Structures are given as C-alpha cells and as structure tokens.
Chains A and B, each alone.
Chain A
Amino acid sequence: MGKITLRNVAKRFGEVAVIPDINLDIEDGEFVVFVGPSGCGKSTLLRLIAGLEDVSDGTIEIDGVNATDLPPAKRGLAMVFQSYALYPHMTVRKNIAFPLKMAGLDPAEIERKVDGAAKVLNLSNYLERRPGQLSGGQRQRVAIGRAIVREPKAFLFDEPLSNLDAALRVNMRIEISELHQTLKTTMIYVTHDQVEAMTMADKIVVLNAGRIEQVGSPLELYRRPANLFVAGFIGSPKMNFIEGSEAKLHNAATIGIRPEHIDLSTSAGTWKGTVGMSEHLGSDTFMRVTVEGLGMLTVRASGEVSVQQGDTVWLTPQDGKLHHFDANGKSLA
C-alpha cells in the first residue's frame, strides 16, 4: 500500500512561503512526477512528504494514517537523493544492507535481500567495492538498491538522473520505469525536465512558485493544458504564443500552437513568413519563421524539407490544434 494525501500543506522558511497551500492525492501504485522550473519548491514538497522538513500547516496522510508528525523512519518511505548520499566508507553491500541492519533483521535475511536487490540492479559483481570506485550510473543503482530492500510504501526520487550523462539518463529512465512495472509500488519522482516527466509518469503534477498549476496524465497535459504556464512548460520545443489582433480573431487574449501542429508550404497557407535559423536534427528540422504581425514562430518540419534561410514560406495551423487562453492565462475550453 502507498496512498499519500496532502491536505492544505504549507511550508514557510521564515517569512517566505515557499509552498502556500497544496492539496494532492497520490493513489497506491501510481508513478507521480513533480515537474516545474528550478526553485519552484519541488524538493521542498518531497522533503515534506519524506518528513525531512516539518510542515508549517496542513496534514500529510500515508495509507489513511496521519503522518504529519511522524519522524522520517516511521513513515515507511524510501528516498533516492540527487547526490545519491551513499555512505562513502561502506562497501556497496553494507550500503544496501544499512536500512535492514537498522531495522534489526538477522544477518542471513539481510544477506538474502541484498543479494536479491543486487541481482535485480546488476550490481552483483560490485558488492565489495566502495561507492568511490563506481561510475555514476552504478552509484545511482546502489542508491536505488538501498531504497528497494526496505520494501517501502513509496519511493521518493529527487532529480535522480541530473548527474548522469545524456545516454545513461535515457537508460536509467527506462530502468526506473521497469522497476515500477515490477514492484508496482507508489513512486514520486521530482524533476525539472519535462521530457522525463512525459516519458515516465502516470500522473504529472506541474508546480510553479509552490503552487500546483495542473495535475493530469502526460497526454492530458499535452492536449489540454489548463493555462499558459503548463502550455509553455510541457512539450518540446515550446508552444508558440500569439497575442494581439490575430488572437482577437479567435476571441482569446492569447492563442497557442505547438511547432508540430503547423504545416509548412512554399506556395500557400494562412500566415506568410520568412525563414530564419534552422536546427537540423536529421529526423526533424526545427525552423524559426518570422511572420509579420505575429512575431517569431517555431515550426517542426520533416528532416527532408529543403528551404533556406531567407526563403518565404507559408504556415497553416492544423485544424483543432489551436489553444485559446484568456487575459489571466487560463485556458478557454
């Protein structure tokens, strides 16, 4: 079991309300990702759930039990830190065994569980090494191993992949997703990277300045962003926003269109523009097109498209893919 409920949770550091007021339900077995720009309070929220910080207001329930005042160890949660926080003077085996030893399990049982975890995580050959002798990815796995042996109610990850190189990050992303498939334990995963959020989450919680902007599945957020912030944050490259007279035509203060929802033509279309810088990725080409009266739009074209900088092109937004926002940035249904 691992159902976590936050009711009116607030956190203040002195005068600063880092988290003003949050309500959130996390269901058992869900993979929830907290995503938001740096400094928006993701780590703080995770640490409140872990019990490493005290809430200033509100309650935290874990499996229906009020855990607001429980110390971290009593909450039955395991955390993987950004820096991994491995114990440098212990071998990998002792690192993974540490929570079991603290729980007072007998040595044979500890041995069995550590070996089991090591097998799952491909660490069997490294058990006698120290963390300092491991690569970044292996350290990451040790940190995960230390978390899974405890069989916690939920896993908390704080930007666990941010210290890895790009290729390894993709691998570990898949490994963590697979781990979730196998264990079916609740996982709360913090990241500032919307790609990680989109690829891993069952449910994404978009945070901005300590507030929840929107909660939903990755595709819900992509298709129906609740406001300008979510629309701009989810999706890569960023959604194009258009204000002014063109938006008024659609009865909105702002309209948005994703780069992948714009058709490009050299002969005819809705908006006429001039091609600027292009990024060629092979499969796709991201093109910046300056349209008179609208400004700069990013367009995703196929990799084969053959237009040069300075060429004149025509852009057409695809049917039903325009997003409409009111003057407060809220999405118009």
Chain B
Amino acid sequence: MSTQSTRLAARLMVAPSVILLFIWMIVPLAMTLYFSFRLYRLLSPERTGWVGFNNYIWFLNSPDFWLAIWNTLALVGGVLVITVVLGTLVALLIDQPVKGQGVLRILVIAPFFVMPPVAASIWENLFMHPQNGLFAAISRGFGAQPILFLEQHPMPSVIAIVAWEWLPFATLILLTALQSLSSEQIEAAEMDGASAFSRFRYIILPHLTRAITAVILIQTIFLLGIFGEIYTTTQGGPGSASTTLPYMIFKQAIVAKDIGRAAAGGIIAVILANIVAVFLMRGLGKNLDA
C-alpha cells in the first residue's frame, strides 16, 4: 500500500468501521458529559436544569472521594505488582520440562475462566470466612484467632482476590515470551560464566520487558474498572474502607439514584484513566518499540 490510489482506497475501506467505532465511543461520552452538568435525580424527576459544576464540586468535596482515588490506585498498583512478579516466577517454573506439563499449564490458567463474582464468592466463603474458611481453620490449627480478612483488611483482601484472577493472564503472556527466548542465548550466557540469577537478571528479564509492558498496559485498563469483586464481597465497606471510584459511581447511580453526580464521577474516572495512561506511556511506551 504505497501508491496514492491504494492509500486512498485503503482509507475508504476502513472508513465505515472507523466511523462506527467513533460514534460508538463518542455518543456515550457526550451523553455522560451532558448529564454531568444537569440536575437529574430519578427520585425527583420533575426537578431538572443546568447546575454548572455542582455535580463535580459535590464529588470532589465528598469525604470518600480521595479515599476512593487512593483505593483505586492501590488496587491497580497492588494487583500489577503481584501478578507481574508472581507471573514471572510461575512462568519460569512451568517453562521447565516436567511430566504432565500440559495438565499443569491448564491448571495454572484455570482461574481466568472463573467469573469475577464467582471467584469473589469462593474466596469470601471458602477461604476468608471467619468460621467456615480455610484460612480460619489454619489459624485455629495454630491456636490463633482467625483473621477477619474482609472486615479488618478489606482492601488487601480485594487486591488478593483480583490478583488471583489476573495471575493466569500475566503468566500466560510471560510464558509465551519466555518460550520465544533462544536457548542459545541462555547457553552463551552459561558459557560466559553467568550464574542462574545473572542469567535471569541480564538475559531473561530484558527479554521479557516488552511482554511485561503489555501485561501492565492491558491489565491497567481492566483493573481501573474493577467492580464485581467489591460488590460481591465488601460492598465498599466496612464504612467506605474499600470504596473505589467505580464503586462510588455505582453508589451514586444505583443507590442514590443521582444520575447527574454519577455522570460527573464517570467523567472524573475518564480523566483519572487518562492521567494513568499518560504516566504509563511515558514510563513504558518506549519498551514497545521494536
């Protein structure tokens, strides 16, 4: 596709899908933007009108707002750190030639196929439950008091659950990257006197940077919007201890039935996502260049 006419033809051909995708994106965004400046409460639908930045001001002044921002970032950051570090280790492990490798890999991937609310329920009721949970049983086995995970450590618990769900994704991507590393490079490093740790540090890790970058970017997109796991387990509590920005928006839209404020929260979430994206692309974007 190098001549003028083929370039023009190419543009014409992709135009319909580009236009469709653009509309798909711009209409909801425009509507959200519109509602965010309106008074629009489902409980008193007769009161309408423009309210300027009032919805935004309410959001920014809400006592939960900064906590929610912090929780959102902690969730994203925590899950990223856990999945990338553990994912690398698990990928290194299941890359070793062992018997039953196929079955092992399927087992490692399995959590990804469990639906988020189901995964959260399993964790809440089978692992973290203070009476029936496995962890409580272990604690009692050591003669200790069971830890009240979701009550005393709500955010770390949610992070653990979400990390468990996303670990297979990171592992899978990193495993494929690992398998594309030429064995001769490892052997050359071995002959050059590199210890196992040096081989990891100087050969394997640099080889994985691009895959790690992809994992971080893709996961960030999904993690910023995590909702189901919180809804199923802590409901944003106790109090507001595990309220994230998406959960706060949900509370405004569905619980308080204030569409205007929820829309303002949505726009703030879009801005937050863009700030995160700018930082990520600044920091990691160059890793994606060939």
Contacts and interface: CB of A to CB of B under 8 A. Distances in A.
Interface string B193-209: 11100100011001101
A79 B206 CA distance: 22
Contact of A78 (B191, B206, B207): B191
A87 B203 contact: yes
Contacts of A98: 189, 192, 194, 202
A148 to B, nearest CB: 12
A74 B188 CA distance: 13
B193 A85 contact: no
Interface in B128-169: none
A203 interface: no
A85 B187 contact: yes
Nearest to B187: A52
Contacts, number: 59
Interface in A75-130: 77-79, 81-83, 85, 87-90, 98-99, 102-103
Given A72-B190, A102-B192, A85 B185 contact: yes
Interface in A184-202: none
Contact of A87 (B187, B190, B202): B202
B207 A146 contact: no
B96 interface: no
Contacts of B195: 102
Interface residues of B, number: 18
Which residue among B188, B193, B206 has the maximum number of chain A CB atoms within 10 Å of its CB? B188
A71 B202 CA distance: 19
Interface in B244-280: none
Contact of B184 (A51, A73, A85): A85
Contacts of B209: 89
A120 B189 CA distance: 23
A150 interface: yes
B182 interface: yes
A50 B193 CA distance: 12
A180 B83 CA distance: 50
A177 B185 CA distance: 25
Contacts of A51: 191
A79 to B, nearest CB: 5
Nearest to A83: B184
Contact of B191 (A79, A82, A87, A103): A79
B27 to A, nearest CB: 44
Contacts of A52: 187, 190-191
A88 to B, nearest CB: 8
Given A87-B202, A89-B207, A81 B192 contact: no
A82 to B, nearest CB: 8
Contacts of B206: 87, 89-90
Nearest to B198: A102
B182 A83 contact: yes
B212 to A, nearest CB: 13
Contacts of B202: 87, 90, 98
Q: Secondary structure of the B side of the interface?
A: helix
Interface string B3-44: 000000000000000000000000000000000000000000
A30 B53 CA distance: 85
B207 A85 contact: no
Contacts of B185: 85, 87
A77 B191 contact: yes
A108 to B, nearest CB: 20
Nearest to B209: A89
Contacts of A78: 191
B187 A81 contact: yes
B193 A102 contact: yes
Contacts of B192: 73, 98-99, 102, 146, 150
Given A81-B184, A85-B182, A89-B206, A103 B190 contact: no
Contacts of A90: 202, 206
Nearest to A78: B191
A72 to B, nearest CB: 5
A81 B190 CA distance: 13
Nearest to B184: A85
Contact of A79 (B188, B198, B207): B188
A299 to B, nearest CB: 43
A77 B189 CA distance: 13
Contact of B190 (A73, A89, A150): A73
A89 B190 CA distance: 17
Given A83-B184, A87-B185, A102 B194 contact: yes
A77 B182 CA distance: 21
A71 B190 CA distance: 9
B275 to A, nearest CB: 30
Interface of B: 182, 184-185, 187-195, 198, 202-203, 206-207, 209
16 contacts: A51-B191, A52-B191, A71-B190, A72-B190, A73-B190, A73-B191, A73-B194, A83-B182, A85-B182, A85-B185, A89-B206, A89-B209, A90-B206, A146-B188, A146-B192, A150-B192
Q: Which 8 A-B pairs have the closest CB atoms?
A: A99-B192, A85-B188, A85-B184, A73-B193, A102-B193, A89-B206, A72-B191, A81-B184
Given A85-B187, A87-B202, A99-B191, 20 more contacts: A51-B191, A52-B191, A71-B190, A72-B187, A73-B193, A73-B194, A78-B191, A79-B191, A82-B184, A85-B184, A87-B185, A87-B188, A87-B189, A88-B207, A90-B202, A98-B189, A98-B192, A99-B192, A102-B192, A103-B193
